[in-house]
Structure 1
């Protein structure tokens, strides 16, 4: 059975790998190659964010956490790191807390009223995405750059993982951008991540990786601007350095912007065209693409099997 996967971000590649390793003949077509996608910009700490519905997101997140825990023993770009989150409101344990081995309440600093700590996967996306491509190719899959204004034909199954591109490929205007600006700085002795959000638009996160630290960020709905704003960079650094003083002297390596593909609810379902061709849509993951990637890939694989067990 020949499958075309549209999109080479973390969702598309994860789905393609599951299908290829499951015995399907898989070709990935994408306008943007992996290191050009929004996925490559992500701080990529496992954390469900800006995605719904809660129950399905929690399920996909659990499966993905378990997969990353295994990958951390094999893949250098995946690490399990301890960290803390500070909250401005009293907050019950999240729906996905049951997968965490060590969620612990903590006393937050001034300006916050609640908080917790836990161990989460942290993924170095500039290294992880090429590793996914190698894994796909090892399973017999291919990746080709292709500018598509509509879903391709000529396959037994098409899997649409086009992110914001689903506005075209699925004629779905409910997929909208949420702009995120981040910067990376040189390592400054940090080993633990930190999340602290005082407002929906202004996120504060500090995520150390093997060779750098990702500092963010923003969450601006409906903003298509991909240009880095220097004033935003300064504001991000100021907010982060209040909580992590080492960042004040850290050298900036790079500044980037990514557009999260938000949707009122993630779409992961099998449909058929008017003439009966099957399409699996898997898009609209908001800020949770990495966090739900393997769980969604598992569901896409099961949907493919419902068409053909291969």
Structure 2
């Protein structure tokens, strides 16, 4: 089947790769590449943040299983002597971290998924001494995705699988079906357009931008060996999340070469430029909770808009505009990476049922 996927973020690319792997002829149409999407600004840790999933509750589990598999492949490749993860291996690692809990009772709705996939001992309740006194929460090991290089890996994998790309802004489904964007007429369309997803279906007032902002630190500072350590700043590996207060949330995700630190969750704020006052507040909170950051240089700042919705939308949509099947797959909030593989698998199943 000829299928057009609208959107080249992590959801669009994952869907395209899954569909191509199932034998479909896939074209991705998007107004910009994955490096310019909100996905590229994500941390990203597998964790179902700021999303409500009603019609497909197994998406979290499906994605977790896939990311654990990818992390295992990367670890196996490195154990066989590879200095770095190659283009053939996804940059995903299993990393230990601490999730601070301030609510009573805490929200542990995500825990059953983790223990089902990783075992009953995968999540440990702890109380530890932190930089600001006692911290109550849980420790666990989850997949950490090195987002910019992961998106590049996804796109390369799509190209190898035969996926075609067209860098155009889709103004309407009718024009798309008529071949206005230099594509063959599709037999089905998958909308993974993030914030624009609802526009293409005549308006979806449940889609809301939720602004996030991050600071990117170097993971270790320059020294003679170029790897931090005694002659330079510390190299961090464990992640830290404190997000029970959305206006004062803090997360620290150490990737291989850098550390993504956030953040905020400003509903209906469409400003995609970093704000100096917000950055200062994030920096103050993060350095108080993870003092090692004080020894590391800042590489830059970023901001992005999470495509939030009252609930994730994955369904076939009835539309009078075109006479081919249209499947909506958007509204992932802050869990686009987390739910990407589950979404892709569900979309592929829906296509098979057409």
Quote the offset at 1:70 in angstroms: 0.8
Q: Which residue of the partner structure matches residue 205 of structure 2? A: 173
Question: Could you list the per-position Cα deviations for residues 218-242 of structure 1 after superposition, in whole angstroms to 9, with x for gaps in the alignment?
Answer: 1000000011111111111110111
Quote the offset at 1:76 in angstroms: 4.8
- Report whether the alignment pairs 1:32 with 2:32: yes
* Correspondence 1:212-251 to 2 at 5 A: 212-251=258-297
TM-score, normalised with respect to structure 1? 0.94
- Report whether the alignment pairs 1:103 with 2:135: no
Change in 2 beyond 3 A, CA 1:180/1:112: farther
Question: Could you list the per-position Cα deviations for residues 175-202 of structure 1 after superposition, in whole angstroms to 9, with x for gaps in the alignment?
Answer: 1100000011011321100001252222
Counterpart CA distance in 2 for 1:258 and 1:203 is: 16
Question: Could you list the per-position Cα deviations for residues 119-177 of structure 1 after superposition, in whole angstroms to 9, with x for gaps in the alignment?
Answer: 11111111000100111111111122111122321210000000001232122121110
| 1:214 aligned counterpart, secondary structure | strand
| Equivalent pair of 1:51/1:265 in contact (CA under 8 Å) | yes
Counterpart CA distance in 1 for 2:304 and 2:52 is: 20
Query: Which is higher, the Rg of structure 1 or of structure 2?
Result: 2
* Correspondence 1:139-150 to 2 at 5 A: 139-150=161-172
TM-score, normalised with respect to structure 2? 0.83
Q: Which residue of the partner structure matches residue 186 of structure 1? A: 218
Q: Which residue of the partner structure matches residue 264 of structure 1? A: 310
Quote the offset at 1:55 in angstroms: 7.5
Quote the offset at 1:92 in angstroms: 4.9
Question: Could you list the per-position Cα deviations for residues 41-64 of structure 1 after superposition, in whole angstroms to 9, with x for gaps in the alignment?
Answer: 00111110111136735x211111
Cα RMSD after superposing both structures: 1.7
Quote the offset at 1:91 in angstroms: 3.4
Counterpart CA distance in 2 for 1:263 and 1:197 is: 19
Change in 2 beyond 3 A, CA 1:112/1:227: farther
| Equivalent pair of 1:164/1:284 in contact (CA under 8 Å) | yes
| Equivalent pair of 2:103/2:244 in contact (CA under 8 Å) | no
Q: Which residue of the partner structure matches residue 230 of structure 2? A: none
Runs of 4+ in 1 over 3 A off after TM superposition: 54-57, 108-114
| Equivalent pair of 1:87/1:112 in contact (CA under 8 Å) | no
Residue correspondences, number:
306
Q: Which residue of the partner structure matches residue 78 of structure 2? A: none
Q: Which runs of 5+ in 2 are unaligned?
A: 75-88, 178-184, 220-233
Q: Which runs of 5+ in 1 are unaligned?
A: none
